[in-house]
A and B are shown apart, each in its own frame.
Chain A
Amino acid sequence: MKKYLLLSFMLTFALVFKDAIAQQRTVSGKVTSIEDGSPLPGVNVVLKGSTSGTVTDIDGQYSLSVPTEGGVLVFSFIGLSTEEVEVGVRSSINLQMSPDVQQLSEVVVVAFGEQSKKTMTSSVSSVNAEEIANVSVPNFERNLQGRAAGVNVSAASGTLGSPAYIRIRGTSSISASSEPLIVIDGVPLVQENVGTTAGGQGQSALSSLNSNDIESVEILKDAAGTALYGSRAANGVILITTKRGKAGKATVNFGGYAGWQEATDLPDMLSGPEFTEAYNESVIGGFESLGQSRADAETSAAGFLLDPDEINDTDWLDLVTRRGFVQEYFANVSGGDENTRYYFGTTYRDEEGWLENNDLTRTGVRVSIDQRITDKIQAGITVSPTRTVINRVSEDNEVNAPYTFAQLIAPVGANTDEEGNLVDDPSPFFRAFNGTPTINGEEQEFVTTTTQTLGSGYLDVEIIDGLSARTDLGFSFFQYEERLRSGQRSTRGFPTGFARALNRQRLNYTWTNLLTYQNSFNEVHNLLVQGGTQYQSSRTTQFFADGTGFPGDPFTTLDSRATASDAGGIDTEFDFFGILGRVQYDYEQRYLFSFNIRRDGSSRFSEGNRFGTFPSVAVGWNIAEESFFEPVGFVNLLKVRASYGQIGNAEIGNFDALALASGDAAYNGNPGTRATQLSNPDLQWETTNQLDVSLDFALFNNRLSGTFTYYNKQTEDLLLDVQIPATNGFATLTQNIGELQNTGIEIDLRGTILQGPVTWDLGVNLATINNEVTELTPDTDIIRFGADGENVVQVGQPVGAFSLVNYAGVDPETGDALFFQTDENGNLTDQTTNRYSLNDRVISGDPFPDFFGGINSTWSWRGIELTTFWQYTVGNDVFREEGQFSQTGPASLFNQETSQLNYWTVDNRNTDIPKPVNTAIVSDAAPNGNQASTRYLEDGSYIRLKTLALGYTLPSDLTGRIGITRAKVFFMGQNLLTFTDYGGPDPEVNSNRADNANVSQGNTFFAAPQARTYTFGLNFTL
């Protein structure tokens, strides 16, 4: 796109110069890109020290008259390094031009347009599409992790298709969504996770996006950048631009990669004999805790004990995990001329997850055509259907989940009988659940099919010089089908089988109209004025049906059910309408000013409160452009800029402002209605006031560049589900009340440390977040979430801080778990007690890192390129709720992590694992230490080698002989190394188990770890 804009500009110049010059001899040649060998049209070729010059044509060819002797040709093109070449006596000069990565006049995509980096006054992080193109991830958003300062991406789970949570500059809401707005080619997406039937987080709507189709990703972080998205901008905006055709010869790219993946790590669980020992001890311990002597307790326990000679030894985790095969292939062709440009691409991905029965297949096609109709009118269209089929497994807090079940089920039962058939009641003792981890895998099918078509078309008309009008129509058609069929021996299907069919579809369309006036006056005043409207409408419908009672597992569809056990349907919609305006002015690119405003309305709010106004203002000063700065030659750029603005968040339910009675209240076959929601006509946007102060710099010929930023986000009128006394018949009321803030700094540094035959580029980013709730309701300064109220929203604390009783280890005398007590003011003392009391809870940590970011390093030498990308987070805490099941001694019938073997006994008094007390068997016994406490709170800091890539581009003179412009082979590894003190298998996942994703981001409950992936690939350009 940017090349094309320049092309037309350059062509105009060419016409001016073409006939004016007549010289003695001619030099001609071809300019190509060093990256992919493609011809570069529109490159400026000038004879140094003269007015004589030309531009390359569509094939990169040029021809220029030069003096008979000597002379120097200067080749320049925005975004590429300017080259000077001595002509000598040559009549033909071919040149390969390389990109100037530090080129600061580069154009980046911004809200409703593009802007040169030099005159930008807002904070935008760009993620290089090249860096993420060949990285094997099931969902594109995983690729953003660590790539941009202040953008925290945490994967919900290692299962295929599961979403990631994206937080730009912290969590800025409590009850409304904190996810950024994602805009693909100008079309705002409707984001929701689907497929939560099976527990866990479901799957991301973004899982249908192919990384290879992405041209660029821009993350708008401050109010100046996002204000044009008004009511939906408070959590930041991610702009994704997909690939389009470029003028020039047809370029064909194809390639692919294949490899395998496995879990980064798995928890170490007890073997059958180990479990037997610990379990038997826990039953005896249970009776002892009732005051019985050891001898009496052993007698009481006798009927419950496992006989070590009767047990099996089954490694259930091993049975449900595997080494999965991954492959992805792509092919695209693009090209065009001055009038028509095209891009056709296709991708195919086939992936086996590291969990058995977890597979993903994605097929996608992308077509984009741009057509110049007259010299003033241009139109284009893009359509990209994709189809993603995932064999899903259940997750997290769902016994169906193989990963969860394999950790819960006692390892003393057999998986198969003598004939090798799966056993459905493997334990020699109680079974807490029907099915087994393997039966739930083998005898259950859970297939989701997502068909998503994104499309957009535009018409752009230049009305007069500098004034253009553009209309954009974008749509996304999303169709999601879910088929679940649980066999009659599985946990869910027991005893007669279960089936669910669900179909969800959504049409989301956006119509954007823009008038843009852009001009320069007296060559010093640069002005852009823009006005427009945007309308978005989204409608979602869904139906599902459940059935039970099947004549056998071979009958897979609902036709064969005996009972239609449930059915339902919904139909819901919302719309947004905004009027937007922008003024952007600079004086000689030195003094910069911009003003953005959007007046935005949403059907989600009641009449009279529908519209809100969201302004932002930004100023900047390119100090290095000042004449007094000229002597300081090594400074290429020094810019200070500041922005302030007001942006909104409207991510609540579609009808939260209304007083409603739901029809979902039938009783005994008779229809009924039920009050579900109190009215709140005053409901309004959640508003964020954001200040951003930044310093951009580039030094030493742009070899070192970077940005320092301070941000301060104050969110007020929080859309808060305020708890009200339930004696009113309602437990919460959504209100605009409360305030919170996110402040921090962001540092982004990029440098070329070595240049020459060996080059070394290093990029480092780091960000801090100080998140604090500053005000709640007049009645309350604390709201508790989570199973035991362990996550709090409390004034003076970060959102989701952990309020926990502090674990003090084990009493060496008794083996009792000890807890620290608080004094009457609620402060922690060093007094310990074996009596667990919630009154002793104190704030013990929070899920926000002190700082986090990424380190990207690329070495290259003669076509060999080695890239390492590290991602890190420091100072965040993780509450391992699963510990209350798998690190308890055991206190139940469930398997335990091996750490529990170090439990207290009279011969092992110095330990922090209490005496096991099995409260499931000895029902009168009191729990000993498995209550929610800091025993299960861990430091989640880690640094991880996210990506290691080793590539080799074959010499082009070699490949050129067989008609290949560029050929590259590569190896890519992901999550190869992790350094952490975290005790769980993977510090990166969190399961957001509780009712609120903002509040429970630091909790994990049997979340499946990430994959470690090894892939080998080939890329060709013809």
Chain B
Amino acid sequence: MKNIFILFLLLIITVSCDLDDIEPQQSISLDAAFADETAIRFALNGMYDAYQDDDVGATFITMSADLMANRDMEFRGSFTSLQEIRSKTLVTSNVQVSATWIDTYETINAANAIIEAIEANPDLEEGAAGAARGQSLAMRAYLHFELVRLYGETPFVPGSTVASNTQLGVPIILEATLSSDGITRPARNTVAEVYQRVLDDLAEAITLMEANGGGGQGQIDTEVAKSMLARVYLQMGDYANVLTVTDDIIATGGFSLVPDIADFFAEDGEFSSESIFEVSNLDDDGPPGQTLTDFYSIDGRDDVIASEAYLALEAQLFNDRLNQLFTDNNYTVMDHRYSELLVASSNANDTDLRVNKYEDAENEADNTPVFRYAEILLSNAEANVRENGRSQGALDLLNEVRNRSIRVEDELGLPVDNAASYELADFTTDQEMIDAILLERRVELAFEGYAFHDLTRLNSAPEGFSFGDGRLAWPIPQRERDVNGNLEQNPAYR
């Protein structure tokens, strides 16, 4: 009996030791995540993964601009958060407004963590570290730019100096938070400060990547950073710089339009010669949450249709000469941006046309185009005319985009090449040519997140609003102001 008693005591003692340390199997410690070059390489992929989030690069940075413009598409979905964006009746607790804020700053933090880890570690090999730092700087800059375009009190006044834009922007975050001690409660910087920082960061990123190379497929390299810079200058109305930067990109010769625009958006058209930067969404690694396919595709939620206004643009695209060909010679004229990239329902009663740019409803793995060569060509042409007056050079770029999509066939069904080309003589003023470029741009880049910002940069606004209307700025999310008293709210929401 005594033996059993001792046995019991032994049993109790055996298990009284301290608990085992249990290591997580799906995570590593934060320190290890930035410890060396290999770790930083994975962290860099992680930064892109954060950017790939639906609230950031994959879906909502694009879709928000289309919703805000409420011009080329009609959103008729049931999400109240998106309905509010569409009708500019936002409440401060709007979940999309909160989510884009949260997840964009999460991506910025990921970029800052890489930048700091590289700066703190002099042992790192210069090339790879420089490339990683360049990509992170560009990502940080570009996301600040996107944030300030959505949440800034009023937009950057086109054509003004940077310094004159003293209205409230968004907090500039340049330091990573990696421990609970590092939590900050920043105030908002001015729009001027944000733009200046964006320009500085992009310049540094370009220098770094020119020296060390950039990222691979689906990642940022020198040309991507330059495209970002061009878009920033365009938003600022700084056409001289738009011209310089886009000239650079065109001069590389590395990009060309794909022969048919439908191929660019086809499932197997990813990372084509036209693609400068696109968010990679794989079949087995789609973005979490909602995709553009989900909203835009007829096979998804089917929430979006092309607006009457957008459909009406097709007729405007056809100039008199083209119409003449059409009526006189029985030629057929079709614009692939309409005939291929819009699609009708199989239900005969349903005559609305849907957007067919994001078509992979099966896996919702369409890449999200962020920069494609057509934009660069059109930006360059526009800046060129604005800076130097109309020219054949600018016209050639416009025609390049136009002729790709507007297809003319003779009565035998044979293609008539470049039939849609404009000639210099078609324009009696520079403004006429600029208008033609802008029309082309609107049709070419519709449903890709340009509409709202293109209105703003031209001192315009969605229908029913005028430039600088406070309701066109998103509110600072309520949840953010609940925990950060330093954040001032935009006037329309006070």
A residues near B (Cβ < 8 Å) are 376-377, 425, 428-434, 461, 463-464, 469, 471, 494-496, 511, 513, 515, 532-533, 535, 548-549, 563-567, 570-577, 579, 601-603, 607, 610, 654-655, 658-680, 723-731, 733, 735, 779-780, 782-784, 787-789, 836-838, 884-885, 892-894, 919-921, 923-927, 931
Known: A513-B12, A601-B18, A678-B180. A780 touches B26 (CB 8 A): no
- Which residue, of B5, B74, B464, B482, has the highest number of chain A Cβ atoms within 10 A? B482
Question: In the assembled complex, which residues on chain A have CB atoms less than 8 Å from the CB atom of B76?
Answer: 430, 893, 920-921, 923
A-B contact pairs, 19 of them (CB 8 A): A428-B349, A515-B8, A515-B12, A548-B283, A549-B362, A573-B22, A664-B26, A667-B280, A673-B28, A674-B50, A675-B113, A723-B482, A725-B184, A727-B173, A728-B177, A729-B105, A783-B482, A789-B479, A927-B83
Tell me, in angstroms, the Cα distance from A679 to B179 when the chains sit together.
6
Whether a CB of chain A sits under 8 angstroms from the CB of B70 is yes
Q: In the assembled complex, which residues on chain A have CB atoms less than 8 Å from the CB atom of B177?
A: 678, 728-730
Give A717 Cβ to nearest chain B Cβ, in Å. 16
A674-B49, A787-B95, A789-B478 are contacts. A725–B42 as well, Cβ < 8 Å? no
Using A461-B1, A573-B22, A666-B285 as known contacts, list a sample of 5 further A-B pairs with CB atoms less than 8 Å apart, ordered by residue number in A: A659-B178, A668-B285, A671-B42, A672-B48, A892-B78
A376 touches B1 (CB 8 A): yes
Please, which residue of chain A has its CB at the minimum distance from the CB of B113? A675
Q: Does B466 contact A (CB under 8 A)?
A: no
Q: Does B252 contact A (CB under 8 A)?
A: no
Q: Quick one: given A428-B349, A430-B302, are A495 and B361 in contact (CB under 8 Å)? A: yes
Are B106 and A726 in contact, with the CB atoms below 8 A?
yes
Asked if B327 lies at the interface with its beta carbon under 8 angstroms from chain A, I say no
B321 adjacent to chain A (CB < 8 Å): no
Hey, which chain B residues are within 8 Å of A789, CB to CB? 93, 478-479
CA distance A668 to B464 in the complex (A): 41
CB A407 to nearest CB in B, in angstroms, measures: 13
- The total of chain B residues at the interface (CB under 8 A) is 101
Binding stretch for chain A, among B84-92, B123-131, B224-232, B413-421? B84-92
B270 to chain A, nearest CB (A): 10
Question: Which 5 A-B pairs have CB atoms at the shortest separation, nearest pair first?
Answer: A729-B109, A672-B45, A661-B33, A668-B280, A674-B46
Question: How near does chain A come to B120, taking the closest CB pair, in angstroms?
Answer: 16
Q: Which of A469, A602, A654 contacts B24 (CB 8 A)?
A: A654
Which of these, A515, A672, A783, A925, contacts B42 with CB under 8 Å?
A672
Q: What is the CA–CA distance of A1000 and B423 in the complex, to the nearest angstrom?
A: 65
The residue on A at minimum CB distance from B483 is A723
Among B8, B86, B113, B173, the residue within 8 A (CB) of A461 is B8
Closest to B477 in A: A726
- Would you call B11 and A673 a contact (CB within 8 A)? no
In the complex, which of the residues B20, B42, B47, B219 has the most CB atoms of chain A within 10 Å of its own CB atom?
A: B42
Residues of A within 8 A of B483 (CB): 723-725, 779-780
Check A782–B482 contact: CB distance below 8 A.
yes
| B5 adjacent to A463 (CB under 8 Å) | yes
Given contacts A666-B45, A674-B50, whether A920 and B78 have CB atoms under 8 Å apart is: yes
Cα separation A679 to B464 with both chains bound (whole Å): 49
A788 contacts across to B, CB distance below 8 A: 91, 93
CA distance A59 to B217 in the complex (A): 84
Least CB separation from A546: chain B residue: B284
Residues of chain B with a CB closer than 8 A to A733's CB: 180, 183
- Distance of A949 from chain B, by nearest CB (Å): 45
Q: Which A residue's beta carbon lies closest to that of B102?
A: A726
Asked if B428 is an interface residue, CB under 8 A from chain A, the answer is no
Task: Determine which of A495, A571, A659, A885 lies in contact with B179 in the assembled complex, contact meaning CB atoms within 8 Å.
Answer: A659
Tell which of B52, B109, B464 touches A667, judged by Cβ atoms closer than 8 Å: B52
B173 partner residues in chain A, CB cutoff 8 A: 727, 729
Q: Is the CB of A575 within 8 A of B20?
A: yes
Inter-chain CA distance A676–B33, complex, in Å, is: 11
List the A side residues contacting B217 at CB < 8 Å.
Answer: 668
Task: Say yes or no for B32: interface residue by CB 8 A criterion.
Answer: yes
Residues of A within 8 A of B302 (CB): 430-433
* B46 adjacent to A661 (CB under 8 Å): yes
Q: Is the CB of B109 within 8 A of A728?
A: yes
Question: Using a CB-CB cutoff of 8 Å, which residues 91-112 of chain B contact chain A?
Answer: 91-93, 95, 101-102, 105-106, 108-110, 112
Q: Is the CB of A678 within 8 A of B178?
A: yes
Q: Which residues of the partner chain B approach A677 to less than 8 Å between Cβ atoms? A: 27, 30
Q: Mark B164-199, 1 if CB is under 8 A from A, else 0.
A: 000000010100111110111110000000000000
Q: Which residue of A lies closest to B481 (CB)?
A: A725
Residue of B nearest to A841 (CB): B93
A567 to B283, CA, bound (A): 11
A780 to B482, CA, bound (A): 7
- B44 interfacial contact with A, CB 8 Å: yes
- With A579-B16, A671-B45 given, is the CB distance from A663 to B28 under 8 Å? yes
- How many Å lie between the Cα of A927 and that of B90 in the bound state? 12
Question: Which residues in B have their C-beta under 8 angstroms from that of A836?
Answer: 91
B347 touches which of A425, A727, A920 (Cβ 8 Å)? A425
Q: Which of B30, B74, B347 has most chain A Cβ within 10 Å?
A: B30
In the complex, chain A residues whose CB is within 8 Å of the CB of B349: 428-429
Are A658 and B24 closer than 8 Å at their CB atoms? Answer: yes
Identify the closest chain A residue to B172 (Cβ): A727
Nearest Cβ on chain A to B427's Cβ, whole angstroms? 34
Given known A680-B180, A726-B480, A923-B75, contact A655–B27 (CB-CB < 8 A): yes
* Complex Cα–Cα for A687 and B356 (A): 56
A610 touching B19 by the CB < 8 A rule? Answer: yes
A654 neighbours in B (Cβ, 8 Å): 22, 24
B110 touches A567 (CB 8 A): no
Residues in B457-494 with C-beta less than 8 Å from chain A: 464, 477-480, 482-485, 487
When distances are taken between beta carbons in the complex, the residues of chain A under 8 Å from B285 are: 566, 666-669
B350 at the interface (CB under 8 A from A): yes
Chain B residue at minimal CB-CB distance from A511: B15
Residue of A nearest to B79 (CB): A787
Contact partners of A662 in chain B: CB under 8 A: 26-27
Judge whether A728 and B45 touch: CB under 8 Å. Answer: no
- Report yes or no: A533 in contact with B12, Cβ–Cβ below 8 A: yes
Contacts of B218 in A (CB 8 A): 667-668
Q: Given A727-B171, A727-B173, A780-B482, decide whether A673 and B42 contact each other with a Cβ distance below 8 A.
A: yes
How long is the Cα–Cα vector from A671 to B93 in the complex, in angstroms? 35
What is the bound-complex CA distance between A602 and B22, given in angstroms?
10
**In the assembly, what is the distance between CA of A635 and CA of B20, in Å?**
55
Cα A433 to Cα B76 with chains together (Å):
12
Q: Are B8 and A471 in contact (CB under 8 A)?
A: yes
- Chain B 294-306, CB within 8 Å of chain A: the 1/0 string? 0000010111000
Interface hub of B112, B283, B362, B479 (most chain A Cβ within 10 A): B362
B110 near A731: Cβ-Cβ < 8 Å: no
CB-CB under 8 A from A549, the residues of chain B are 362-363
CB neighbours of A431 from chain B (8 A): 302
Q: How far is the CB of A11 from chain B (nearest CB, A)?
A: 21
User: Which of B16, B70, B80, B299: most chain A CB closer than 10 A?
Assistant: B80
> Which one of B45, B183, B283 contacts A724 once the chains associate, using CB atoms below 8 Å?
B183
Docked pose: A727 CA to B361 CA in angstroms: 34
Residues from chain A with Cβ under 8 Å of B352 in the complex: 430
A784 touching B283, Cβ below 8 Å: no
Which residues in A have their C-beta under 8 angstroms from that of B477?
A: 726
Interface residues of B in 41-86 (CB under 8 A from A): 42-50, 52, 70, 74-78, 80, 83, 86
The reply to whether B83 and A919 contact each other, CB–CB distance below 8 Å, is yes
Residues of A within 8 A of B21 (CB): 603, 607
Q: How far is the CA of A671 from the CA of B106 in the complex (A)?
A: 19
Q: Smallest distance from the beta carbon of A529 to chain B beta carbons, Å?
A: 15
- Docked-complex contact B48 and A668, CB < 8 angstroms: yes
Are B24 and A572 neighbours in the complex by a CB distance under 8 Å?
Answer: yes
Report the separation of the CA atoms of residues A535 and B20 in the bound assembly, to the nearest whole angstrom. 11
Task: Say yes or no: is B4 at the interface (Cβ < 8 Å to chain A).
Answer: yes
Q: Which residues of A contact B29 (CB under 8 A)?
A: 658-661
Find B30's partner among A573, A575, A675, A893 (CB 8 Å cutoff).
A675
